Amino acid sequence: MKSVTFKISFLFPAVLFLFAGIFRSPGKAMAIAADSIPQQKEKSFHKPLLTGNFFTQFRKGFNDRNDKNRASAYFDYGFSPILLWKISKRFFIESELEAKSLRGKAHIKVGYADVNFIAAKFLTLQAGNFLSPLGTYQERLHPMWINKLPEVPMGFGHDDLLPVTETGANIRGGFSVLKSKLNYCFFVSNGPILSDGHHLKRTEGMLLYSDEDTSMLGFLNLKKNYKDNNSNKATGGRIGILPFPNSSFEIGVWGETAVVGDRFKAHVHTFPAGTPHIDEPDYSNVQSRIYGFDFSCLKKVSFLKGMIDIKGQWNEIKTGYSKYLNTYDTSGVVWSYAFANHSIDYYAQCAYHLSFFENNILNKSEFCFRYSYIKTPKGSLWEKEIKQYTIGYNYWINWHSVLKLAFQMENGTQARQVVLLQWAMGF
């Protein structure tokens, strides 16, 4: 009896000590409870990560023929928090919220939101609204603290020529081939919409993208989200090749094709008495092809004591032949017209970072130059040809915060000079 009493008196404090340790150490409690909770589920959830970027800038414009106030000056800002959440070893989600102003007009919208599944080391499945893989600019360079200059190249922003995002699904990955590397992305998405002028006036023949602004051409679409106008889906992809073992050079080719016209609806325009009637054109079989190539070269140059960063991208858009209606004649007469719907857009830039100088100011300095060109269809109501030159100086406060000073000049169908001062950072 005494031995039993002794054992109980010994075990009781030990049990109390064990439970006290459990309650004081949640990690131990979870380890003990693992028998009742599937271990895979227990390890599947991780804390979300909040990252993103911010910029604020001052812009002073001169000789802007499209602006009544030719000496315009204003401040802009942009704040883009990005949520990254690794749900399990194979699943993760990402989403960006954009809050920004453009010439004093502010808007807030979802930049992108997608879910990813890592099927293998060389294969990831992605679905939702994702950054466009047509070239490298949107996926890799568009955040302002990564972009070498305060403004984006012509045709690469929230405008009409190239999409910023795609809504659909894709497969992507990369692998080694001997001493080289190859990356790829193939996607299916809603694709662009051929404008007939009903959404935005004087844009007949232009490609409109879901949830995009057409700010480059002076049209702001901050409230409308264009829905896919047919059952056809866009298909496309990009293949990138890094031929050297140090991955210092990459060249990529890409393309997208889609039927962009709306389903045909019998519709006859009404005109003044005595004038002929014109049926609404049939756009149901109009197809568009977007294709191009991009390149990137990052190289240490010893005799310059710095890093040379050269990048560029070429884009072409060819849309099938169709007639459009001009309803803007002041006499009220509506007439049809057609044009070769072919647009070209490209940029090339070079940056020289004085990384290896001993002086603390010099080794944080970077000089940049970019040439950008855009040409839209001759004969369209949105016809233009612009050559843009931008030269800039960057001072890197640290690796993720930079001050930029740039001068930008445009020649062509419009002439404009702009001075920009920007502070951008990633976090």
Give the three-class secondary structure for 180.
strand
Contacts of residue 404, Cβ cutoff 8 Å, sequence gap at least 6: 57, 149, 150, 392, 393, 394, 420, 421, 422, 423, 424
Q: Does residue 214 belong to any structural domain of this protein? A: yes
List the CATH number of the domain containing 218: 2.40.160.10
Average pLDDT of the segment spanning 220-244: 73
What was the pLDDT predicted at 146? 96
Q: Average pLDDT, stretch 251-263?
A: 91
State how many domains the chain has: 1
**Residue 273, Cβ density class (10 Å: 0-12 exposed, 13-18 middle, ≥19 buried):** exposed
Domain span at residue 411 reads 50-426
For the chain, how big is the Rg over CA atoms in Å?
28
pLDDT (0 to 100) of residue 276:
54
Highest mean pLDDT among 20-34, 122-136, 189-203: 122-136
Whether 404 contacts 150, CB under 8 Å? yes
Q: Is 172 part of a structural domain of the chain? A: yes
Residue 25 domain-assigned (yes or no): no
What's the pLDDT score for residue 3? 45
Sorting pLDDT into bands at 50, 70 and 90, what band is 11? very low
In a domain, residue 34? The reply is: no
Q: What is the pLDDT of residue 416?
A: 81
| Residues 261-279: tens digit of each pLDDT | 876 654 555 555 545 556 7
Is residue 410 included in any domain, yes or no?
yes
Judged against a pLDDT cut of 90, whether residue 4 lies above it is answered with no
Least confident of 2-6, 43-47, 178-182, 351-355: 2-6
Q: Is 161 helix (H, G, I), strand (E, B) or coil?
A: coil
Per-residue pLDDT averaged across 359-387, rounded?
Answer: 94
Please indicate, yes or no, if residue 158 is contained in any of the structural domains.
Answer: yes
Minimum mean pLDDT range among 262-276, 344-358, 399-413: 262-276
Q: What is the percent of the chain with per-residue pLDDT over 70, rounded to a whole number?
A: 77
Of the given ranges (89-98, 275-284, 328-337), which has the lowest mean pLDDT? 275-284
318 against 22, higher pLDDT = 318
Any domain includes 117: yes
Residue 283 pLDDT greater than 80, yes or no: yes
Q: What pLDDT was estimated at residue 277?
A: 58
Q: What is the pLDDT of residue 278?
A: 65
Least confident of 1-10, 342-351, 367-376: 1-10
> What pLDDT sits at residue 293?
97
pLDDT of residue 353: 96
Amino acid 26: pLDDT: 40
Instruction: Render pLDDT for 130-162 as a digit per residue (tens, 0 to 9).
Output: 999 999 999 999 999 999 999 999 988 765 688
Query: How many residues are recorded in the chain?
Result: 427
Residue 146 CB partners (closer than 8 Å, separation 6+): 53, 140, 426
Is 21 within the bounds of a domain? no
Question: Average pLDDT for residues 16-30, to the nearest whole number?
Answer: 38
In the chain, the amino acid numbered 23 is F
Q: Rounded to an integer, what distance in angstroms lies between the CA atom of residue 148 and that of residue 202?
A: 33
Instruction: Output the pTM of the full model.
Output: 0.80
Residue reference for tokens 């599937």: 38
List the structure tokens of 238. 């990009």
- Of 141-145, 206-210, 245-249, 383-387, give the lowest mean pLDDT range: 206-210
Q: What single letter denotes the amino acid at residue 347?
A: Y
